[in-house]
């Protein structure tokens, strides 16, 4: 694509100039504000990712002309390695959002093997101000009031040669500003990773995490079955340092400061990670007496200490600091009431001078959870500051301190996207998005010079498939298409008349949809999640009248109910709630809430006051047996060898009757009430667990991930959300 990109450089400069000059575009009832990349319809905001809006700007700059895919890819992503499917997804979202022109033409028209064209009728602003960097004088260009964009009539119609000269001067100035050899001042003022190249360093699709050496010459990473590999970034050669294992789990932490050793967590039969290290040339594994880490860990700059999060015996979280030789372990920080430290993420990072530790976590106030990054003094655990998260962030999964000391990277997810990389500048208090695509990034590490960051790029698009209830995978039929995100928590359910209700994120945000078993009659039941930030976990009532679901508003999850056609969405809970289930008689919704300690509550499906359903704590994801007398649920028992379990108990019991060392997703009861189906942690397939103890694999798709499932009411079919995830090492290299 590089040669194609070079051939359109002049056109890109021209369209870039147009984007800078044209502050707004208006057509029909839409208004696009270019500087803020915000699209408005009527009086409201249209929920689109920034890169999708940039795609629209590129088409508006050339309205009426066919813009090639190569030109769009070059303009939107430059030299970055990005699949063409990202552009296709942006176009899909825009066409879905904009619809058709009044004359029936689509606003965005696709020309096979050529590109895309914007067909709308633009209304120009009354005046557009152009300020040249070399002039103090402000020029004003007055355009025609309204015109139809077409190949014969370009967007910019200027009345005088003088104004045309001004435009030419501006284009020339911009091209000179961006030309090699004339951009030193821009590079000096630019922050880290404002422009970068992205390079893939693996193609095995099974990388779990990885780190780059301080000198940038090697990448250590874990692959399937915890095999440790070492890759030479210069030669692209890779060797296996530690072999795969079926009994040991490993997670790489960091290279030693001299890059001679690789530190990692080693988890064996006791299920508690312990610190270990191995030479970069392989050999004997050295084990240190540091462990029981619940989060990822970070190594101090001098390699002498380790920082990680551990779950406290009081169910709180603790920042642990220990010497890497196993001595000096102590509890540096215990989370305060209403706050949390990242227990499941790569949540710690040392400052370059080794004096501070950044910890990803958050604060809950009145049921609203807000993520943040807390900075602690490494010597005594005193809190120095708290960095609030970006707008609409739901979580922070990783934090990394860049070598300069004034900038942090974080992986976070908002209400529409998965884990993306963001940068925070401490001195200005500003967040800036670094990546902007449909991938999910996991883990962060950086070279000593701060020029290259390594992360894992995770892709997991999936679709719904229909199978006979006996689990015969050879008869599986795909019923949805496109790029959908369906995980264990998004939810799948059936209506009594045989339609399938499910939640998915296709790139523009979460929505709840309905589809026939043959793939026809697909429709959205929610619009902007009924006014919420996100929505998922739909459950259809036994009589088919209602669909109950979980939705997040202002950071707080609640239980909602809507009619089967999506009408009359109604919030049921006031204090919060998640993971809904409906009793077999259809009268009550059972859900989980922090009360504290994660208990089951219930509320009438017609609305009313919520009340405790069970005294048990540390529970979630309940499912009632067909006769309504038993419940299967997720349960956490920190005293057990297998702490995350699925348990069964009589409704109203104060403790589990029987537990199984398995837990991942919502259990589904067999019609006879003597067994249930579930997904385990590996997502390899669907298991059947009999209450008498027999366990067997019910169905699996080799090489794929089974994300969710639901049996039809007549017992003849099963709907399965499946995907083929890819996980590979990628490196972001700063171009400053």
Per residue in 662-691, pLDDT tens? 766 679 999 999 999 998 777 889 999 999
| Cα 386 to the center of its chain, rounded Å | 23
Question: What pairing do the DSSP bridges indicate for beta strands 726-734 and 452-459?
Answer: antiparallel
**Do the beta carbons of residue 227 and residue 240 sit within 8 Å?**
yes
Tokens of 133: 């960097």
What kind and span of H or E run contains 167? helix 161-178
**Do the beta carbons of residue 556 and residue 369 sit within 8 Å?**
yes
**Cβ neighbours of residue 287 under 8 Å, at least 6 residues apart?**
266, 274, 275, 276
HSE-CB at 90 with a 13 A cutoff on CA atoms is 26
Rounded Cα–Cα distance for residues 664 and 408 (Å): 33
φ, ψ for residue 419, nearest 5 deg: -70, 115
Gyration radius from the chain CA atoms: 28
**Do the beta carbons of residue 438 and residue 86 sit within 8 Å?**
yes
Tell me what pLDDT residue 150 has: 31
Rounded Cα–Cα distance for residues 623 and 689 (Å): 14
3 state SS of 19 = helix
**DSSP state letters, 201-266:** ---SS---EEEE-TTSSEEEEEEGGGEEEEEETTT--EEEEE---SS-EEEEEEE-TTSSEEEEEE
Tokens of 72: 């769009």
3 state SS of 693 = coil
Distances (CA, A) of 375 to 83, 349, 385: 37, 10, 5
φ, ψ for residue 530, nearest 5 deg: 60, 35
Neighbours of 194 (CB within 10 A): 15
Give per-residue burial for 643-675: e unless 16+ CB within 10 Å, then b.
ebbbbbbebeeeebeebbebbbbbbbbbeeeeb
Rounded Cα–Cα distance for residues 683 and 197 (Å): 33
Tell me what pLDDT residue 644 has: 86
Residue 110 pairs in a beta bridge with 116
The residues of the chain scoring below 50 in pLDDT are 1-21, 126-189
**Do the beta carbons of residue 107 and residue 121 sit within 8 Å?**
no
Rounded Cα–Cα distance for residues 588 and 567 (Å): 20
77-83 contacts at long range (C-beta below 8 A, 24 or more positions apart): 78/5, 78/195, 79/2, 79/197, 80/196, 80/197, 80/198, 81/197, 81/198, 81/199, 81/200, 81/730, 82/198, 82/437
**Over the stretch 533-592, which tens digit does the pLDDT of each residue have?**
899 999 999 999 999 999 988 878 999 999 999 999 999 999 899 999 999 999 999 999
Distances (CA, A) of 479 to 85, 92, 476, 708, 718: 20, 19, 10, 15, 12
Question: What pairing do the DSSP bridges indicate for beta strands 330-334 and 317-323?
Answer: antiparallel
Tokens of 135: 């002039």
Mean pLDDT for the chain overall: 84
Tell whether omega for the bond before 596 is within 30 degrees of 0, i.e. cis: yes
Question: What pairing do the DSSP bridges indicate for beta strands 588-593 and 38-41?
Answer: unpaired
**Do the beta carbons of residue 551 and residue 530 sit within 8 Å?**
yes
Residue 429 pairs in a beta bridge with none
Tokens of 27: 């057509």
């Amino acid at each position: 694509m590089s040669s194609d990109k070079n051939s359109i450089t002049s056109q890109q400069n021209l369209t870039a100039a147009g984007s800078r000059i044209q502050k707004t575009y208006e057509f029909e009832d839409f208004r696009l504000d270019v500087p803020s990349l915000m699209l408005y319809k009527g009086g409201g905001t249209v929920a689109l990712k920034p890169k999708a809006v940039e795609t629209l700007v590129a088409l508006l700059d050339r309205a009426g002309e066919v813009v090639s895919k190569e030109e769009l890819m070059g303009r939107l992503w430059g030299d970055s390695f990005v699949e063409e499917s990202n552009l296709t997804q942006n176009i899909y979202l825009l066409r879905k959002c904009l619809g058709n022109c009044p004359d029936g033409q689509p606003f965005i028209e696709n020309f096979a093997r050529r590109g895309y064209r914007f067909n709308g009728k633009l209304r120009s602003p009354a005046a557009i101000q152009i300020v040249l960097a070399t002039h103090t004088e402000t020029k004003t260009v007055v355009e025609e009031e309204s015109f139809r964009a077409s190949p014969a009539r370009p967007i910019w119609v200027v009345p005088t040669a003088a104004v045309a000269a001004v435009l030419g001067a501006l284009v020339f100035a911009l091209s000179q500003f961006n030309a090699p050899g004339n951009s030193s001042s821009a590079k000096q003022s630019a922050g880290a990773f404002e422009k970068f190249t992205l390079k893939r360093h693996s193609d095995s699709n099974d990388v779990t995490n990885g780190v780059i050496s301080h000198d940038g010459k090697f990448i250590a990473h874990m692959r399937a079955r915890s095999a440790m590999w070492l890759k030479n970034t210069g030669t692209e050669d890779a060797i296996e340092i530690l072999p795969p294992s079926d009994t040991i789990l490993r997670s790489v932490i960091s290279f030693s400061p001299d890059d001679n050793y690789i530190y990692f967590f080693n988890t064996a039969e006791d299920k508690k990670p312990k610190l270990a290290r191995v030479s970069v040339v392989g050999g004997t594994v050295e084990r240190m007496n540091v462990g029981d880490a619940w989060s990822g860990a970070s190594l101090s700059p001098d390699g002498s200490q380790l920082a990680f999060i551990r779950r406290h015996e009081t169910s709180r979280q603790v920042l642990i600091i220990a010497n890497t030789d196993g001595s000096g372990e102590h509890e540096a920080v215990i989370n305060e009431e209403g706050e949390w430290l990242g227990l499941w993420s790569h949540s710690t990072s040392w400052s370059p001078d080794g004096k501070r530790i950044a910890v990803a976590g958050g604060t809950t106030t009145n049921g609203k959870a807000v993520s943040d990054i807390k900075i602690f003094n490494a010597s005594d655990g005193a809190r120095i500051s708290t960095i609030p998260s970006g707008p609409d962030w739901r979580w922070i999964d990783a934090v990394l301190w860049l070598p300069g000391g004034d900038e942090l990277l974080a992986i976070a997810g908002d209400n529409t996207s998965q884990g993306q990389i963001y940068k925070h500048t401490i001195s200005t208090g500003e967040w800036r998005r670094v990546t902007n695509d449909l991938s999910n990034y996991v883990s962060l590490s950086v070279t000593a010079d701060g020029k290259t960051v390594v992360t894992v790029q995770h892709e997991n698009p999936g679709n719904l498939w229909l199978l006979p209830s006996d689990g015969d995978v050879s008869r599986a039929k795909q019923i949805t298409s496109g790029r959908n995100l369906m995980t264990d928590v998004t939810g799948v359910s059936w209506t009594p008349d045989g339609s399938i209700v499910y939640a998915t994120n296709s790139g523009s945000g979460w929505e709840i949809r309905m589809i026939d078993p043959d793939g026809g009659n697909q429709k959205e039941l929610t619009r902007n999640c009924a006014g919420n930030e996100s929505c998922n976990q739909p459950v259809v009532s036994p009589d088919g009248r209602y669909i109950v679901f979980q939705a997040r508003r202002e950071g707080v999850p609640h239980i909602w109910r809507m009619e089967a056609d999506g009408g009359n969405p109604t919030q049921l809970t006031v204090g919060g709630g998640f993971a809904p289930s409906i009793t077999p008689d259809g009268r009550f919704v059972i859900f989980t809430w922090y009360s504290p300690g994660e208990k089951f509550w219930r509320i009438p499906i017609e609305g009313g006051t919520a009340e405790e359903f069970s005294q048990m704590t540390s529970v979630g994801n309940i499912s009632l047996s067909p006769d309504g007398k038993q419940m299967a649920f997720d349960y956490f028992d920190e005293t057990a060898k297998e702490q995350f379990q699925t348990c069964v108990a009589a409704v109203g019991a104060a403790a589990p009757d029987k537990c199984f060392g398995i837990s991942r997703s919502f259990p589904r009861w067999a019609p006879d009430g003597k067994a249930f189906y579930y997904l385990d942690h590996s997502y390899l397939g669907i298991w059947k667990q009999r209450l008498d103890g027999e366990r067997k694999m019910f169905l699996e798709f080799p090489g794929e991930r089974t994300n969710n499932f639901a049996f039809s009411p007549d017992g003849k079919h099963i709907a399965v959300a499946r995907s083929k995830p890819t996980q590979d090492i990628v490196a972001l290299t700063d171009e400053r």
